[in-house]
Amino acid sequence: MSMYDNKQTFDQDDDSVVVIIGSGAGGGTLANELAQKGIDVVLLEAGALHTTADFIADEWASFNQLAWLDDRTTSGGWRVAKDFPNLPAWICKTVGGTSVHWAGASLRFQEHEFKARSTYGDLPGANMLDWPIELAEMEPYYDKAEKKLNVTRTNGNPGLPANSNFKVMYNGATKIGYQKCSTGRMAINSRPSSDGRTYCHQRGFCFQGCSYGAKWSTLYTEIPAALKTGHAELRPECHAARIEHDAQGKVNAVIYFDKDGNAQRQKARAVAVAGNTIESPRLLLNSASAMFPDGLANSSGELGRNYMQHTTASVYGIFDDRVDMFKGTVMAGIIEDEGGHDPSRGFAGGYLLQTIALGLPFTTSFLEPGTWGRDFTSAIDQYPNMAGMWIVGEDLPRADNRITLNMDRRDQYGLPTPNVHYTSHPNDDAMREHAYQQGTAVYEAAGATRVVRTPPYPATHNMGTCRMSEKARDGVCNKHGQAHDIDNLFISDGSQYTTSAAENPTLTIVSLAIRQADYIAEQMNGGAL
Amino acid sequence: MPDITTSRRGFLKGGGALIVGTLTLSSGSIALMAPTRTWALEVNALDEHQGKTLLKFARHLYPHDDLEDAAYALVVKELDESAEDDPGLRALLQSGVRGLDGAAGGSWLDLDDDEQFLYVAALEGEPFFDKMRSTTVVSLYNNDLAFAHFGYPGEKGHAGYLHRGFNDLHWLPELPDKASGPMPDAESA
């Protein structure tokens, strides 16, 4: 019996189940947390089941196996709309979602990042808001998430050993005076974990799925654990199309297309949406009804808005000697010195510098998209001598950066496809420029003979679009991810984010999912759900 | 040579034209992989002149002086295979080649490299150019010949570099323990 076999299946007319849409960091974690409490869950996943044995050490082949490639369009001032017009985000359509692909960086938010509006002010051109939660309320859940993910440098876990790419970063960073530089906090086993997963073997194919299972993913942790309880059923290749509600405005069923393209209807006691930041609002918009003409949970008009991706870009240094950046973990180390809020730098919020490594196929496709000629090829000629770092910083919410529906462009199920509109805020541009300069200084201090500035490419960090807010008029859900308008509808992924903070989002998504499970169980026990 | 037919029977069976080349370097990573110094590519949607023109065009777009034509031939192979099922693409490529020859007043291939380049650069933004660029930047670098040439092991890294040099950079000072971490198997042993 495989660890993915359902021990329990639920009838489509069973209206006692919680239906969770999406099996990534948010949905997969929520499913397990609820199942552990004895709450019955149907977990719908649009993608197919690909296990660790299926992962491919080949960038393009793996991309075609794991990435979400359904039709999408883009608009706005961002360069991705020109370079990758139908690929706004690099996220996954597979059991485990983007937790299969992520690099593993697991950092807590800083206290002030939950209070972005109070700390940074009401910046023009941004739709600033404080989170309805504070760090102190999240700390117990961060503790639980770090244990669950077996994060290095927490709970007595050692850090991961440095690879060559990080040695370059570290030497440059310390030469220019940075002090907070290490192999970081990673959800990658630095020694075997208690659930039987082995340690990192430094493959370097983190983005292609960890074939050792050393990097945490819901695929081989939360999901099998949930199935083992007998309180969860996984349905892969089931694409949610619409959420239905009753005359009182409570959601009561999910319509989805199964792997043969047949429409199915699963009744539900509650529905949790965790399809990532593009699909989650798309589903709620596509669920518009006479009672909710602008989409479910959209009385605020904020549904789909405030789409954030982090302020990103990359810097590649070229050296006289070999680095072989592709050997070992992709996110092999971090510089945290620029992570705080220091307006004297000319922007609000902070950023982190983390190593990144791409193989030859992705380096050539992403280093300078659209370019050609000798300037480009002379950099590629020195591929083994390259070191790479990725910039990840706080991106501000903007009302017009949003997901909308293309009513005249339909997907394979006849559903309106999403359009992703994004234009960076001047604060993002100022932060990116600062980070480019600092990243360049790091590599020059380490001896780089040439530094290449790589523009942002399709984002893996996607946040906002169903944001949580204290007041119903400011957002889609409350501090528990519960829709302001519909008590038994939950947002359970990064769409909940009020603001982006600088840190990689997964640890906070997992922490929120653990917290949300407690809340749902409480509400059920109290008879409110 | 991987992916390139050297079989005369394959040539006859396909009924296509054959583009033949010789490795220019007798040493080097690609030569080490090759059983012989000659290579051949069968094209079916394109003719030999068109194939050779596209190969040279790809070389102007992404010039690596030491990279064998055999690697660029893989770009032509992909274009030719796609064009077999896509008449629109075939027409685009054929008219692209005709356009180059027309502009050159004969065969663009007969011009010297600097002159050829001017005609390439003049096409930037045209559909033919865009197709050649977007195909070449993926295809040229996504094969074993390119991996060998540029020093990327690809799937040979599948098992992991933990004991195969993940940290073998020694031209910079080693890191203090607090910035790094122990080898996992040393720890568990």
Looking at residue B16, what is its pLDDT? 80
Q: Which of A60, A377, A446 sits opposite B64 (nearest CB)?
A: A377
d(C-alpha B114, C-alpha A165), whole Å: 38
Whether residue A231 contacts residue A85, with contact meaning beta carbons closer than 8 Å, is answered with no
Reported as a single tens digit per residue, the pLDDT across B128-180 is 999 999 999 999 999 999 999 999 999 999 999 999 999 999 999 999 999 99
Confidence band, pLDDT 50/70/90 cuts, at residue A1: low
Alpha helices in chain B (DSSP H): 8-14, 29-33, 48-61, 69-85, 87-104, 113-121, 127-139, 144-150, 184-188
Residue with tokens 């059923």: A233
Q: Is the pLDDT of residue B3 over 70?
A: no
Compare A333 and B18 and report the one with higher pLDDT.
A333
Give pTM, 2 decimals: 0.96
Return the structure tokens found at A292.
């909710």
Confidence band, pLDDT 50/70/90 cuts, at residue A419: very high
DSSP A284-308: HHHT--SSSTT-TT-TTS-TT-S-B
SS3 B108: helix
**CA-based nearest distance B80→chain A, Å:** 20
Q: Calculate the CA dihedral of residues A187, A191, A195, A196 and round it to 10 degrees.
A: 130
Residue A41 bridge partners (DSSP):
A18, A232
DSSP A206-237: GGG--TT--B--GGGTHHHHHHHTTSEEEETT
Residue with tokens 């706004």: A88
d(C-alpha A218, C-alpha A197), whole Å: 13
- The DSSP secondary-structure symbol of B3 reads T
Task: Establish if A167 touches chain B: CB-CB under 8 angstroms.
Answer: yes
Whether residue A423 contacts residue A400, with contact meaning beta carbons closer than 8 Å, is answered with yes
**Average pLDDT value for residue range A461-468:** 98
Decide the pairing of beta strands B17-22 and A489-491: unpaired
Note whether B181 contacts A159, CB cutoff 8 Å.
yes
User: What amino acid is encoded at A163 in this protein?
Assistant: N
Note whether A203 contacts B168, CB cutoff 8 Å.
no
Reported as a single tens digit per residue, the pLDDT across A74-86 is 999 999 999 999 9
Return the structure tokens found at A134.
């504070």
Reported as a single tens digit per residue, the pLDDT across A437-452 is 999 999 999 999 999 9
Looking at residue B6, what is its pLDDT? 46
Q: Is the pLDDT of residue A69 over 60?
A: yes
Residue A73 bridge partners (DSSP):
A419
Task: Establish if B106 touches chain A: CB-CB under 8 angstroms.
Answer: no
Interface confidence, given as ipTM, is 0.94
Confidence band, pLDDT 50/70/90 cuts, at residue B186: low
- The DSSP secondary-structure symbol of A110 reads P
Looking at residue B15, what is its pLDDT? 57
**Average pLDDT value for residue range A498-513:** 98
Confidence band, pLDDT 50/70/90 cuts, at residue A175: very high
**CA-based nearest distance A461→chain B, Å:** 24
d(C-alpha B29, C-alpha B119), whole Å: 32
Q: Calculate the CA dihedral of residues A371, A373, A376, A381 and round it to 10 degrees.
A: 140
Q: Which of B76, B9, B1, B21 lies closest to B45 in space, CA to CA?
A: B76
Q: What is the mean pLDDT of chain A?
A: 97
Task: Establish if A115 touches chain B: CB-CB under 8 angstroms.
Answer: no
Q: Which of A17, A489, A82 lies closest to A292 in space, CA to CA?
A: A489
**Average pLDDT value for residue range A112-134:** 98
Reported as a single tens digit per residue, the pLDDT across A371-397 is 999 999 999 999 999 999 999 999 999
Q: Which of A56, A171, A203 sits opposite B161 (nearest CB)?
A: A203
Tell me which of B132, B137, B164 to substitute to probe the interface with A (most A C-beta atoms closer than 10 Å). Answer: B137
Return the structure tokens found at B59.
């070389």
Q: How many CB pairs under 8 A join A and B?
A: 165
Task: Establish if B88 touches chain A: CB-CB under 8 angstroms.
Answer: no
Looking at residue A494, what is its pLDDT? 98
Residues 306-325 of A with CB under 8 A from B: 321-324
Q: Is the pLDDT of residue B13 over 50?
A: no
